[in-house]
Amino acid sequence: MKGLKKQRRIQVIVLAAVAMAASFGAFYYAAPDALQYFRSPTEVSEKAPGPNETFRIGGLVEEGSLVRGQGAAITFSVTDGGAAIPVRYEGVLPDLFGEGEGVVATGKLVDGTFEATEILAKHDETYMPKEVIDALKDQGMYVDPKAADAAPMTN
């Protein structure tokens, strides 16, 4: 009787492990772009990701780099103070998008230009994604807007 219970318990554990592995495999196969990594412009310039890798890049829109092309084509550069990466985007930009403002873009790096499929801009004067703040702090470009003695950011 004890041998049968032990064997049944082992079968249940093995079945649960196989089911978990299968569900993870199905999730990864169904949504490979759901697992996107954030990179700063300095990280992208130091070690370029693969051409098929979808990731997020964030920083500040570099002053003087915003160019509106024909139709909905827009080009600009994202910087963290250490490096600037050119970005190309076709579509409607968020209302709060502008030069010197925080931005996070999703897309792929193609021939040195980040081809964005989605652009996110900060939604008020104080919000900026944690990853962007960390990247800007690493480059010495971040000033906390809540600080009493904070001066406006300049490049």
Q: Are 143 and 115 in contact (CB under 8 A)?
A: no
The 10 Å Cβ neighbour count of residue 79 is: 23
pTM, 2 dp = 0.60
- Those residues of the chain that have pLDDT short of 50 are 148-151, 154-155
Spatial distance between the Cα atoms of 94 and 114, rounded to a whole number of angstroms: 18
Query: What is the tens place of the pLDDT at every residue in 137-151?
Result: 777 766 565 554 444
What's the distance, Cα to Cα, between the start and end of the chain in Å?
76
CA torsion sign, 107 to 78 to 72 to 127?
positive
Q: H helices of the chain, where?
A: 2-30, 41-46, 130-138
